[in-house]
A and B are shown apart, each in its own frame.
Chain A
Amino acid sequence: MTLAPLDHRGELTTADGRTSVAPRRRPRPKTLLVLSVVVVAALALPLAFLLTEATNAGASNIWHLIWRTLSATLLWNTVRLTVVVTALCAVIGTLTAYCVERTDLPFRHVWAVLVVIPFAIPDFVVSFGWSSLSTWVSGYRGAVLVMTLAVYPLVYLPVAASLRGADPGQEEIARSLGASRLSTFVRVTLAQARRAILGGCLLVALVILAEYGAFEILGYPTFTTVIFSEFSVGFDTASACALSLVLVLLSLVVMVGESSVRGAGHVTRGGPGVQRVMTRRLLGRMKWPVVLGFTVLVAGALGVPVGSSIYWMFQGGAHALGGVSLVSASLYTAGYSAAAAFVATLMALPVALLVVRRPTRVHRLLTRTTFLVLAMPGLVVALALSYFSEHYLNGFAYQSAPMLVFAYALMFFPLALVGVRASVAQAPVALEEVAGSLGVKRRHVLLRVTLPLVAPGLGAAFCLVFLSAVTELTATLILIPTNVQTLATQFWSYQQNLSYGQAAPFALLIIAVAALPAYLLGRFFDRLPVRQGPSPARKALT
């Protein structure tokens, strides 16, 4: 029996193990590495600031702050919230993705969009909506409810994408091998989506660690809220930074935990690129209960904040809107967010290419450190930029649009990376090699081959960053050009003054501005081919 030689190129192996083109092992230029190091260095700025400031606080002071029972309480609050919300998001995100992608759920195209939009609603708007609705929504249960509704799309999106990309035929095979429906769901479907679920959970956990606005409104103290009160009553940046380091440590724990259960990647790429007939699982009697579930979810995550905003808007208030028009605030919000999304996606490209094409231990570590920035409060990122700009760059670009855009790009870089990495991993390297062998310059290979292939993923990355930037507040207040207002800052100004009637239109506009990218994002994941195999590569090779 003849055995085909094993291919050692790991996850880039085509299913039949062919390497039809003798790979031209040309030395990679260092450009990719250099660019990545520059990006990672930029992302390390906030951490550098934290460390510098924290050392100013003095060891004994930090020691006192950390080793007291309140810290334990806050830690417990933070941990239990993170764990419970992450678990809930995993369940809700996975089940909704499964229903949308693999069952005959009625109106699934509508749901596919509606379940994504809640990500675009600022957490403080969701909490505000819920807490004005019922007194039940406060404290721990309020925080659990609101955060779950606000961030579950971070699990839904990658899981939906991975279910799309995964082979639905595997479920059938499992069934033919005697596995029951439930057993098939657990042993095959969940296993297919496992990495996506874990990746989504990681994002959820990091986002919750850094969340502030929602907890302030809901009155639930966590490590982050106490960091803010160190700023506000202690006037103690040093202590606040020291406490932020605890947050960084917590996120490290989360990341290590995630990567240890994540395990090594066994991503088998599609076989011959033949589109398999996919039969959607019939929900049968479960159909209308599932629709009801979706309705409740969307009502809670989307209906309540929108409804309460509309309610408050018509309640009105005694005080007219300020000078800043809704239109200009919307345009600035959209402009800054789009620019940030563009920059973050661009920054993510070299890092993603590096780690996917050259997945060494060092490169992987380099990539993962960038996730830490997600767990840092926006206030810290903004202050770090203030500090470095004023102290080392002569105030260059301080409180200018580019600086704000840069801050957003740093803060939401990990979201961009997730999207870009996924699509770079799917683009066949063989194609680039073919293009290379055709004598096309590497730069042109990137433009003409790689980019078009990864374009959908770049689009998804763009939308994720855009949605996050639209709702950003704390860094915006510090770095936005003077006299400019975004929707979030205007909402904040009015909400601070309990002028809910005036705040409401801005909340609605935030949702409106974010709805289009959310819609596109939902459509993007909905339209991914059922099965992504390296079929274009195959055509090109044979």
Chain B
Amino acid sequence: MNELEIVGLDKSYRTQGVLHDLDLNVAAGTFVSVLGPSGSGKTTLLRVIAGFERADRGSVRLGSEIVDDETHFVEADRRRIGYVPQDGSLFPHLSVERNVGFGLARRDRRGKRVAELLEMVGLGGMAERFPHQLSGGQQQRVALARGLAIDPALVLLDEPFSSLDASLRAAVRNDVREVLRNAGTTAILVTHDQDEALSLADHVAIIREGRISQFDTPARIYAQPSSPALAREFGEVNFLKGVAKGGAIETPLGLLELQNAGSVEGGVRDGTKLLVLVRPEQIVVRSEGTDTSTAARVLNTEFYGHDAVLTLVANYDGVTTLTARTSNATGLPLRDTQVFLDVRGGVVAWPESDVTAAGNR
């Protein structure tokens, strides 16, 4: 069952629209990242879910209860949503213990529950401290414990790691995910950090200009992005021109399997010109070719230890440059030598006409 169901959500400030006809479903117990650049509306989305703002149109359902639609509005204090803001926003006048216990009934505020939560976030001995005596990472953990204290059905994390040092970030991030996983809580993380979104979440919702442009597992987001622009954002790309032919694509690198045929609008007919995405690690580089291989010349090699990146120019036209990533560091070909290329696995492609029409979306 879905813990959260958002349908047709519109929200605008004054004249400027922020969210447009947005849909999002989050399954119970999962961890979802909402990924988007600043201004894409991701924080607004979170605020609507939390009940700090009311939607202009559409509905928000939490569990079995409609919390926001034309006729209903449940105030933030009745939603049982744990909210962990960007900078922790701890109450500066309260001790760590009091912060965590803030949402509890008076008698529970100093009880076992608070101690357990602090233990869980690894701040067992710090109950009496005040926020200003904590580091940023510790403050975030207190904020998380505070959000979890009310035993929330859903936890919202609003860029909680962005204010942390890079070195600290990874550790706090993993701790937080661990805590949430152990608690079995549904969580939504809003972030503009790709690595964060992809590495933490079960599902990633890509938000662009107030709309969810893709909602998928991190792996599929990488492998099967919904647009060339997204493809470019989530890693290095090779774009090839191809023509559809019997459910596959004819490309300079041979006949490749089309994986997203169903999601291409209007279907793919034979002869349709397509833009094909080939990730660098899909390109297999060998010194000896087979009959399906394509010959190419090595322009440059960059060695990174765990892998290496080759820049190649295809022999068929002598112009098209390709990037290949290989983990076979020992057998790295030399510059200006000839190699043979094959493509591993299926690819995604978009009709060329759509891509040019939509610009770089």
* A residues in contact (CB < 8 Å) with B: 1-7, 10-11, 13-18, 167, 169-170, 172-180, 184, 187-188, 191-192, 194, 266-272, 274, 276-277, 279
Contact = CB atoms under 8 A, between A and B. Distances in A.
A1 B175 contact: yes
A169 B43 CA distance: 13
Interface in B117-175: 122, 130-139, 146-147, 149-150, 162-165, 168, 171, 175
B93 interface: yes
Given A15-B87, A17-B137, A178-B103, 5 more contacts: A3-B137, A170-B89, A177-B147, A192-B93, A272-B87
Nearest to B132: A268
A16 B122 contact: no
A176 B130 contact: no
A176 B47 contact: no
Contacts of B91: 170, 174, 188, 191
B294 interface: no
Nearest to B44: A277
A277 B339 CA distance: 56
B89 A169 contact: yes
Contacts of B130: 266
B85 A272 contact: no
A13 B139 CA distance: 12
Contact of A16 (B77, B92, B103, B135): B135
Contacts of A11: 132
The 3 closest A-B pairs by CB, nearest first: A271-B87, A16-B136, A177-B103
A325 B235 CA distance: 79
Contacts of A17: 134-138
A5 B130 CA distance: 15
Given A172-B52, A179-B103, A279-B52, A13 B132 contact: yes
Given A18-B136, A175-B52, A176-B79, A271 B165 contact: no
A13 B162 CA distance: 18
A179 B90 contact: no
A6 B133 contact: yes
24 contacts: A3-B138, A4-B136, A15-B88, A16-B135, A16-B136, A167-B89, A169-B85, A172-B47, A173-B146, A174-B102, A176-B50, A176-B52, A176-B76, A176-B147, A177-B82, A178-B80, A178-B103, A191-B93, A266-B92, A266-B132, A271-B87, A271-B136, A272-B163, A277-B47
B81 interface: yes
Contacts of A5: 135
Contacts of B122: 1, 3
B135 A4 contact: yes
B251 interface: no
Contacts of B75: 175
Contacts of B134: 6, 17
B135 A172 contact: no
Nearest to B152: A176
A176 B86 contact: no
Contacts of B103: 177-179
A272 B86 CA distance: 8
A188 B98 CA distance: 12
B165 A16 contact: yes
A277 B147 CA distance: 20
A274 B87 contact: yes
B215 interface: no
B218 interface: no
Interface in B48-89: 50-53, 75-83, 85-89
Q: Which residue among B75, B77, B87, B163 has the maximum number of chain A CB atoms within 10 Å of its CB?
A: B87
Contacts of A270: 87
Contacts of A14: 136
B325 to A, nearest CB: 31
A179 B137 CA distance: 26
B90 A268 contact: yes
> What's the interface size class on B, roughly?
35 or more
Interface of A is mostly: loop
Contacts of A176: 50-52, 76-77, 79, 81-83, 147
B37 to A, nearest CB: 15
A272 B169 CA distance: 14
Nearest to A20: B165
A267 B51 contact: no
A272 B83 CA distance: 18
Contacts of A279: 52-53
A188 B99 CA distance: 11
Contacts of A172: 47, 50, 52, 76, 83
A272 B76 contact: no
A267 B86 contact: no
Q: Which residue among A1, A18, A169, A177 has the maximum number of chain B CB atoms within 10 Å of its CB?
A: A177
A177 B134 CA distance: 22
A276 B90 CA distance: 14
B122 to A, nearest CB: 4
Contacts of B76: 172, 175-176
Q: Which residue among B80, B85, B137 has the maximum number of chain A CB atoms within 10 Å of its CB?
A: B85
A172 B175 CA distance: 25
A317 to B, nearest CB: 55
A272 B87 CA distance: 7
A176 B47 CA distance: 10
B77 A179 contact: yes
B160 to A, nearest CB: 11
B150 to A, nearest CB: 6
Contact of A173 (B53, B80, B89, B139): B89
Nearest to B149: A177
A303 to B, nearest CB: 34
A367 to B, nearest CB: 21
Contacts of A188: 91
A180 B77 contact: yes
A4 B102 CA distance: 24
A268 B131 CA distance: 7
B326 to A, nearest CB: 35
A4 B138 CA distance: 7
B93 A271 contact: no
A18 B137 contact: no
Nearest to B163: A272
A14 B165 CA distance: 12
Contacts of B132: 10-11, 13, 266-269
B135 A3 contact: yes
A170 B87 CA distance: 11
Contacts of B52: 172, 175-176, 279
A521 to B, nearest CB: 26
Interface in B182-200: none
A18 B165 contact: yes
A2 B168 contact: yes
A366 B103 CA distance: 41
Contacts of A4: 135-138, 168
B102 A179 contact: yes
Nearest to A9: B132
B328 to A, nearest CB: 36
Contacts of B102: 174, 177, 179, 187
Given A16-B163, A18-B165, A178-B77, A271 B135 contact: no
B86 A271 contact: yes
B79 A6 contact: no
A417 B29 CA distance: 55
Interface string B311-330: 00000000000000000000
A217 B53 CA distance: 52
